[in-house]
Structure 1
Amino acid sequence: MQTSDQLTRFIFYLCLISILLYSFLKKIRGRLWKIYTCQQSSEAEKQFHRQNSLTDLHEAVAKNSEANVRKAITNGIPIDLIDHAGQTALYYGCERGFANLVNILLQHGARHDILDVNQTSPLWAAAQKSHAEIVLALLQHGADPDQQANDNTTALYHASYEGHLACVYYLVRFKASVHLAKNSGASPLFVAARNGHYRIVKHLLKYGANPFQTQADGRSPLHTALLYSRTRCAQLLFACDPLRWIPQVDIYGWTHLHFLAKNGNIRMARLFFHHVRCELKPIDFEQIDSFGNTPLHIAMFHRKTRFANYLIESGFNIDRSNFFQWTPTMIDVANRKNQARFDESSPKIYLTQLLGTYRIDYTAEEDEMRQEVETYVRLLIFEMEKFDPLFRHDLICSGSYYERTRIGVPNEFDYMINLSEIQRLCTFFDDVNYPSGYGRLYPLSTNEAHEKLRPYLEPTIQCVSSVKIRKRFYQLLTSARAFVIHQETIQQFKHLKFEWTSGDKRCGTAIHAEWYGSRYAYLTIKIDVVPCLTVYRWPRTAKVTCPLAKPEFQIIARSPKPDQTDFWRISTSRTELVSFLSLVDEIKDAYLSLKTLRYINPYECRIDKVTYVADELLTSYMIKSEFLHEISRYPQSQQWIKGGLIHRVTSILKRLHRHLQQGLIPSFYIENYNVIDGDDYARLRSFEIKYVCSLLKQVQEKARTMNRRVTRSQTFAASESIDPSPPLRVRASTTSS
């Protein structure tokens, strides 16, 4: 009997170990395969790889040439060789949608489980690009539908996100898990509801997707459907168990009605109230979030007046204060406050009046805002480093807030993330033959540098790609938010509310947050985070000496053109910050005046369904370059005060207008570098010129009025100084006496 028990336990533990071993091997099989191919195929790589790390087979697939694919296979090129990014010829075909080539490669035994450097499979790439025929072929050949990339996304996640219905059908048919979520907690159902793909929502619910599965911040699929006005998706989710979805709130205490208030859709609010009132359980609609805001506060913050009136008619209290003593009534008064009027009879102090109204005072609340934003960014980049030690960093503060040149409200912060580990492994060259203001980043001639940077090298030139670094940075930063935006972390922040929205810019990442405070009732804050490297010398193409005690400049991950990804742009942001902090206020006022004019004169244009606003047409970098040139011409502070201020501003606007017409705004620091972005300028040129012209006319009119009044006052003073001849009657009486 004892022997039988021992045998049973032995079999149990053996099965348990087998299951764990199988799970482990399944998880790392892609990495094991890479190790195997590195050891066994080194000779094949030397024989068949060219300088750009591709084989003839890769090239044939990229060109969609069936004849060349068959020829490469016949010539003995190993079908599963990978390029510098870890991608096989099969991956190329799946990503590009070449179904005939994919079938040929699969027939010749191409492996579909080899993952690239981001742990994405050929099936993942095909599903993301909506190549349904290829998705079906890969699944029929045994591809794993639940393979997860670095950010835990699956093929089903991306098919659901993009709305690729056929791909979703095939993946679900082959038993893809409907529950596997991205590292942020977003499930396939969540992203389908967010983007309004109601057929996919219906299909996922039919096959067991959990409608109550939330993101890391507690948002449910219904929350996001209400926020983005996805009516059909919301109706499908309303039909789920109301006793479970009604009490759901996110980590900030936002109810479904808070999300509706931010959106302002009255039709969806009526639909929501209809489903809620069908339940007999009483509900407090005026629940407050962690900042004390009711749904009515949220509607007023976002200027959803009709929705706010709807809530007031439904019985919401308009005099209830949040934790910062703002009532909905007070918020409404602040929103309706008219723009300040200026003394039209005093053009000489017109700009001074503008600055007095729109200059930021940098009080205790602004400093608290800075501290919370910096803490948030430091938490994010700390998590990034844990994901990938290659992206070890230092934080560099830059931009208008730290230059003390922010106008209006402090709703934008800029940070440069110095990638110190990559910096240690590289050297920067800014040759005179390169495009002005750009250079190349080459790895050091060590095994460590080439091994760590191999996925980020440009295959032909063997220099570090700015685009690959920037995209990896974006992926790491967005993934890090899942480990920062949770219940424990938000306790550190009294005013800041994190948002999931972000954007991959051409030089970095823009993330967003919201601020609730005493002085600023509500602000939407944009945080620009730019990866960079520091070079401890002054650029070879500089045309002025470095003002810093220890010369340095940064290079940022931005290329001159989309196809020139081997170049990095030289940035003097750190130098500009030090220079602006040392400027006297009389001179700095001209720069602030220009930014104030842009702030109070909104302008927008729409091109190819994209809306551009004033600060995108007339960027701060453009204004700053012309301002620094003006300082070099008029270095004395006396030339910038009183009436001189409006003349300096007029002069800068004239030069801006002329240079925009020429398509060239020269950099102050770098020789022959054009501040204007060539791609943007081609689209925006006419609008930029028109906008600057309107600002110039406004300032010139003030200057002309001021000159006329000065001339009149001088004429009047001169006439009073002359003793006029007495009238004839007075002269006659004087003579007779």
Structure 2
Amino acid sequence: MPWIDEHVAPVSSDVCDLIKHRVKQLSPRRPDQQQSSRLVNDLRDSLLDFLKKNKKQPFFRSVTVLNSGSYYETVKINYPNEFDMMLLLPTPRLTWIELEEYHGLHYSVSLVRPTRSEVQAFLLDDGLIISASRILCGMRCLVKNFISTYKVPEGVGRWVLNRKLPSSPAVTLSLMCSAQDADQESELMSVDIVPALEVPESQGWPLAAQHGLQVDNWLGKKARRDLTKQCFYFVPKKPKGRNLSNTAKESWRISFSHIEKQIIKNHGHARTCCEAPATKCCRKRCLMLLKCLIEGLKVRFPDELERLCSYHGKTVFLHTLSKRGNDSQWAPSDLPSSFMALLSALEDHVSNSELPHFFIPAYNLFAAPAFPRKALSCLQRALDEQRKLGLPLLKLPSPAHPLTINPSPPDPPLCTERDNSQTKNMTT
């Protein structure tokens, strides 16, 4: 793992001013947040009500919701247009087998013993292994039936079901609004609905995850013990790549998104961090700036950096917090130098071709085929260029349009948090 240099090189006054001005523009406007929340909450409540009453798939009647993603971590940038919603499925006691070639990230998940419960419809021929593809297909069919009759309360537009993407664990809905041209529509927001299997804390974490979450120097050993006693989830995301085995095609990816949300929201070495003006830090603002830079790079190099996503930035951020654990290292007045330290950490991970998963350290997020070598070389050159030119991708874009009825199409901004649909699901 790259060593984080505590003595960051001096930041030029121009870059300091750019960072300070840019960070003021990143947080979503409160009216946009309120309207987005109303729309998503109504969708969620109506969907849960629909699932409870459906007769075709009784297995989905007792689902519960776990909200995740940048909006609920309060690190969403620009405007609230993407939401993640995990639907937790009720299952009997589970067991799992690690797919060795994926270093602890993907698993074959089974029931401990045969069952006659509703999950039986989603088992493979052995009567024990839970089929990821069947679960996702069943969820997609239900959501499709639900959305065909659901109407947006405010009359802002209509929800549509997006096409299924390879390796994605989500059923994605987009809220479409008519543009000035009656024949066109624009997307106001999207919601990823991800079915998940919950493994209770009594069963413990898989062996591959027991050496991750290195937060001893940051949150403390007791906090780590408490976090590792929590449950974890499996989501129906198969590995990337071609010629997958039948086992890999039906595999599940481990998810700790709920713990990521918890430690980002409660991020300080001192428990009082950010609870009052006198105890503020700049951690979240640094992450938001890094997300902004990553999205700017994806806009500039859409093909070369297709696999790059905000989860890479979040992982670098978590590793950096573990190395720079003291709150004094993230003082608000040190925002420029703190962000440049975070950027340096990303550059180190890229140059070393190594970014360990924060919870599964044996899995390298910068390893092929998940992240091709050509993409890594392009990213290294792009980051070097940004540093030499004074971070031009952080310059203020055109103002993002609010969530209103019939908005005029905005000028394409240089930096927005619009994850490429092929890679956005890394967050799970």
TM-score, normalised on structure 1? 0.42
Identify if the C-alpha distance between structure 1 residues 446 and 470 changes in structure 2 by more than 3 Å, giving closer, same or farther. Answer: same
Residue 283 of structure 2 is matched in structure 1 by 587
Q: Report matched runs for 1:214-363 at 5 Å.
A: 346-361=14-29, 363=30
Return the offset for 1:515: 5.9
Corresponding residue for 1:440? 108
Aligned match of 2:414: none
The gaps in structure 2 that reach 5 residues or longer are 1-11, 179-185, 214-223, 268-273, 275-280, 392-428
Aligned runs of 1:459-538 on 2, under 5 Å? 459=125, 462-484=128-150, 489-490=151-152, 492-504=153-165, 506-514=168-176, 524-537=188-201, 538=204
Residues 93-132 of structure 1: matches in 2 within 5 Å? none
Q: TM-score, normalised to structure 2's length?
A: 0.69
Percent identical across equivalent pairs? 20
CA–CA distance in structure 1, aligned partners of residues 358 and 115 of structure 2: 40
Quick one: structure 1 residues 395 and 555, their matched pair in 2 at CA, closer, same or farther if it must change by over 3 Å?
same
In the alignment, structure 1 residue 620 sits paired with structure 2 residue 310: yes
- Tell me the amino acid that sits aligned with residue 478 of structure 1: K
Match of 2:397 in 1: none
Q: Give the secondary structure class of the aligned counterpart of 1:360.
A: coil
Q: Which amino acid aligns with 1:625?
A: T
Alignment deviations for residues 80-106 of structure 1 (CA, whole Å, 9 cap, x no partner): xxxxxxxxxxxxxxxxxxxxxxxxxxx
Shift of 1:548: 4.1
- 1:510 to partner: Cα distance: 1.5
After superposition, the Cα gap between the structure-2 partners of 1:366 and 1:395, relative to the gap in structure 1 and judged at 3 Å, is same
Are the equivalent residues in 2 in contact too, given 1:547–1:575 (CA < 8 A)?
Answer: no
Letter in 2 for 1:618: L
Q: For structure 1, which runs of at least 5 residues remain unmatched after alignment?
A: 1-343, 517-521, 606-610, 704-737
CA contact (8 A) 1:657 1:689 kept: no
Q: Secondary structure of 2:188's match?
A: strand
Could you list the per-position Cα deviations for residues 297-335 of structure 1 after superposition, in whole angstroms to 9, with x for gaps in the alignment?
Answer: xxxxxxxxxxxxxxxxxxxxxxxxxxxxxxxxxxxxxxx
What's the CA shift for 1:549? 9.2
Q: What amino acid does structure 2 have at the position aligned with 1:628?
A: L
Contact 2:104–2:360 (Cα < 8 Å) also in 1: yes
Question: What is the deviation of 1:686?
Answer: 2.0
Q: Is the 8 A contact 2:36 2:81 kept in 1?
A: no
Please name the residue that 1:407 is paired with.
77
Q: Which residue of 2 aligns with 1:571?
A: 255
Pairwise mapping of residues 636-647 of structure 1 onto structure 2 (< 5 A)? 636-641=326-331, 644-647=334-337
Separation (CA, whole Å) in 1 of partners of 2:347 and 2:125: 42
Paired residue for 2:50? 383
RMSD: 3.2
Could you say if the C-alpha distance between residues 532 and 546 of structure 1 is closer, same or farther in structure 2, counting changes exceeding 3 Å? farther
Secondary structure of residue in 2 paired with 1:401: coil
Task: Report the equivalent of 1:555.
Answer: 234
What per-residue deviation string (whole Å, max 9, x for no partner) do you get for residues 14-56 of structure 1? xxxxxxxxxxxxxxxxxxxxxxxxxxxxxxxxxxxxxxxxxxx
> 1:665, 1:675 within 8 Å by CA — same for their partners in 2?
yes
Alpha-carbon offset, residue 555 of structure 1? 1.1
Q: Report the CA distance shift for 1:661/1:634 in structure 2 as closer, same or farther (over 3 A).
A: closer
Pairing 1:687–2:375 present: yes
Task: Describe the shift of the 1:677–1:455 C-alpha distance in structure 2 as closer, same or farther (beyond 3 A).
Answer: farther
Q: How far is the alpha carbon of 1:634 from its aligned partner?
A: 0.6
Q: CA deviation at 1:647?
A: 4.0
For the 8 Å contact 2:175–2:188, the answer to whether it is kept is yes
Determine the structure 1 residue equivalent to 2:404: none
Q: Which residue of structure 2 lines up, in the alignment, with residue 395 of structure 1? A: 65
Output the CA distance in 2 between the equivalents of 1:632 and 1:447.
43
Paired residues of 1:597 and 1:695 also in contact (CA < 8 A): no
Give the whole-Å Cα distance in 2 for the aligned partners of 1:437 and 1:427: 17
AA aligned opposite 1:352: K
Tell me the distance in 1 between the aligned counterparts of 2:360 and 2:256: 9
2-side partners of 1:656 and 1:515: how far apart? 37
Kindly provide the amino acid, as one letter, of the partner of residue 193 in structure 2.
V
User: Of 367, 372, 376, which residue of structure 1 is paired with 2:39?
Assistant: 372
Letter matched to residue 530 of structure 1 = V
Whether the 8 Å contact between 1:403 and 1:580 is mirrored in structure 2 is yes
Question: Residue 447 and residue 534 in structure 1: after superposition, are their counterparts in 2 closer, same or farther (change >3 A)?
Answer: closer
Q: Could you tell me whether the CA contact under 8 Å between 1:663 and 1:681 is conserved in 2?
A: no
Distance 1:666 1:401 in 2: 24
* 1:557–1:474 Cα change, 3 Å: same
- Structure 1 residue 621 displacement after superposition: 1.0
Alignment partner of 1:569: what SS?
A: strand
Amino acid in structure 2 at the alignment position of 1:536: P
Aligned equivalents of 2:295 and 2:371: distance in 1?
21
Post-superposition offset of 1:534:
1.5
For residues 368-408 of structure 1, the C-alpha deviation after alignment (integer angstroms, 9 at most, x for no partner) is 21121121133234434513111231111110111111112
* AA in 1 matched with 2:196: C
Change (3 A) 1:374 1:613: farther
User: AA paired with 1:598?
Assistant: I
1:419 aligns to 2:84 (yes or no): no
Q: Kindly provide the amino acid, as one letter, of the partner of residue 582 in structure 1.
A: N
1:366 maps to a residue whose letter is Q
Structure exhibiting the larger radius of gyration computed from Cα positions: 1
Output the CA distance in 2 between the equivalents of 1:604 and 1:381: 39
Q: Which residue of 2 aligns with 1:428?
A: 95
Instruction: Give, in angstroms, the shift of residue 546 of structure 1.
Output: 5.2
| Cα distance in 2, alignment partners of residues 493 and 613 from structure 1 | 40
Would you tell me which structure has more strand in proportion to its own residues? 2
Within 1, Cα distance between the matches of 2:296 and 2:252?
A: 35
Match of 2:356 in 1: 666
Change (3 A) 1:354 1:556: same
Please tell me whether the aligned partners of residues 372 and 496 of structure 1 are also in contact (alpha carbons under 8 angstroms): no
Distance 2:99 2:162 in 1: 40
Output the amino acid matched with 2:110.
Y
- In structure 2, the CA distance between the partners of 1:642 and 1:702, relative to structure 1 (3 Å rule), is farther
Q: Give the alignment of 1:23-62 within 5 angstroms.
A: none
The Cα shift of 1:604 comes to 5.1
Partners of 1:430 and 1:628 lie apart in 2 by 27
Task: Tell me the distance in 2 between the aligned counterparts of 1:639 and 1:702.
Answer: 23
**3-state SS of paired residue (1:534):** strand
Say yes or no: does 1:539 pair with 2:223.
no
Whichever structure has more helix as a proportion of its residues is 1
Q: What does the per-residue CA deviation read over 1:443-465, in whole Å, with 9 as the maximum and x for residues that have no partner?
A: 2424414xx44443343694112
Aligned partners of 1:680, 1:347: CA distance in 2, in Å? 33
Task: Render the CA deviation track for 1:251-302: whole Å, top value 9, x for unaligned.
Answer: xxxxxxxxxxxxxxxxxxxxxxxxxxxxxxxxxxxxxxxxxxxxxxxxxxxx
Q: Which has the higher contact order (CA 8 A, sep 6+)?
A: 2
Q: Distance in 1 between matches of 2:45 and 2:380?
A: 38
- The answer to whether 1:596 aligns with 2:261 is no
What count of residue pairs does the alignment treat as equivalent?
A: 337
Specify whether residues 600 and 442 from structure 1 end up closer, same or farther in structure 2 by C-alpha distance, changes over 3 A only. closer
Of the three residues 319, 325, 339, the one matched with 1:635 is: 325
Partners of 2:383 and 2:360 in 1: how far apart? 28
1:325 counterpart residue number:
none
